Amino acid sequence: MKCPRCEFDQISTIAKSPQAGVWEVYQCDQCFYSWRSTEDPKVADVFKLTKEQIDNLQVIPPVPPLEV
Ligand SMILES: [Zn+2]
């Protein structure tokens, strides 16, 4: 199985249906995209990510300390 967004091939199962075997939720170990086994996930080309893009993603600016 490969990630539909970044093509990475290490996917974790992060949730399973309460009734066994109905569905599972998978998550990409690289970009954290997630989808349910009952979906057929399609990611438009414009939203796809490469390893290089992921490595260079900007960090969310930290919240400055509270003023006293
Ligand atoms: Zn991915």
Tell how far the Cα of 8 is from the centroid of ligand 1, in angstroms. 5
Cβ neighbourhood burial of 4 (10 Å; 0-12, 13-18, 19+)? middle
Distance, CA 58 to ligand 1 centroid (Å)? 17
CA of 64 to the centre of ligand 1 (A): 31
State pLDDT tens for residues 43-62. 999 999 999 999 998 888 88
61 contacts: CB under 8 Å, gap ≥ 6? none
Cα four-point dihedral sign 45, 60, 13, 50: positive
pTM of the predicted structure, to 2 decimals: 0.79
Using the mean position of ligand 1's atoms as its centre, give its distance from the Cα of residue 37 in Å: 15
Residue reference for tokens 């998978």: 26
Q: How far is the CA of 3 from the centre of ligand 1 (A)?
A: 5
Tens digits of per-residue pLDDT, 27-41?
999 999 999 999 999
Q: Give the tens place of pLDDT for each residue, 11-26.
A: 999 999 999 999 999 9
